[in-house]
Amino acid sequence: MKKVLVIALSIVFVLSLATAVYAAPDLDRQWESHEVDSGVYDLKDGYEADWESYYHVVLNPGADERYKSLLELLIAETDIDKAELLAMSEAQLRDAAHIENLAYYKTEIEGLTDQIWATQVEANPGETGLLDQTFEAAYGNTYEGQVADKSELSDDGWGFVADGDVSAGYRPVRGEDYVGNYFTIEQHAMTTDGTLKRFIDISSPFDGSYMHEDFTVTGKSDVQEAFEMTNIEPGESIVVIWHDLF
């Protein structure tokens, strides 16, 4: 008996911050990049930056100090005519920043984990293998920024409210029809003789939790496990048994 199953998930991300610097302001326009900072990225800042990349002129920019492109940064941070900037290529924009002696940063946000839960069971000829899984996952991605209270959210949206009682200074709130942001699994994997492989790479930016496993067992094996990661619970009015709708 041979049974193989792999589950790949993309639910949430804990992200690392890698920042690269502008070109050095010398006369021959030789551009250089340097990593100047790294670490786990702030959850609220990550959502405000859309978990991608942005340009800025201060090391730790606020929401209104991040620009999606070098063009937007130059429009906001220099006196160069906007129409002139719009006609420039990316290389010409870099040269314009150089001429203005403007140092800037480009921050790239990358996933700290791959968000994978994978299991493989392969039984040798004449032996028995089993892989039984029950899982449930949801990712409500209608992010609506910071609000005064949950009444400002749409029914299926979520956002942050200020909260001085928590270390981050804010906490997530969701609308009554928000589907949730969570992953739970119960799993039983075994073989009387064969190969059992497991690879887990899961993290959460909401509470900083991180789980990583990578191992292979040959011969007889039996693993029973359960895992739960709830970042945001479903809204109060969410229909849990969705198939009853059909």
Is 134 a residue whose pLDDT tops 80? yes
CA distance linking residue 213 with residue 117, whole number of Å: 9
Express each pLDDT in 219-233 by its tens digit. 999 999 999 999 999
Q: In the structure, what pLDDT confidence band is assigned to residue 6 with cuts at 50, 70 and 90?
A: very low
* Between 173 and 2, residue with greater pLDDT: 173
For residue 126, the model assigns a pLDDT of 95
CA distance linking residue 191 with residue 122, whole number of Å: 8
Q: In the structure, what pLDDT confidence band is assigned to residue 143 with cuts at 50, 70 and 90?
A: very high
Is 8 a residue whose pLDDT tops 70? no
For residue 81, the model assigns a pLDDT of 96
Is 1 a residue whose pLDDT tops 60? no
For residue 50, the model assigns a pLDDT of 86
* Between 165 and 188, residue with greater pLDDT: 188
Q: Which residues contact 55 (CB under 8 A, 6 or more apart)?
A: 66, 67, 68, 69, 70, 72, 73, 104, 105, 106, 107
* Between 43 and 71, residue with greater pLDDT: 71
Is 244 a residue whose pLDDT tops 60? no
Q: Which helix (H) or strand (E) holds 38?
A: none
- The arithmetic mean of pLDDT across residues 42-57, rounded, is 88
Express each pLDDT in 81-94 by its tens digit. 999 999 999 989 98
Claim: this prediction has a pTM higher than 0.95: no
User: DSSP per residue over 167-216, as a string?
Assistant: TTSEEEEE-TT---EEEEEEEEEEEEEEEEEEEEEEE-TTT--EEEEEEE
- The arithmetic mean of pLDDT across residues 62-87, rounded, is 95
How far is the first Cα of the chain from the last one, in angstroms, to the nearest whole number? 36
For residue 245, the model assigns a pLDDT of 53
Is 53 a residue whose pLDDT tops 60? yes
Q: In the structure, what pLDDT confidence band is assigned to residue 31 with cuts at 50, 70 and 90?
A: low
Mean pLDDT, rounded, of the chain: 84
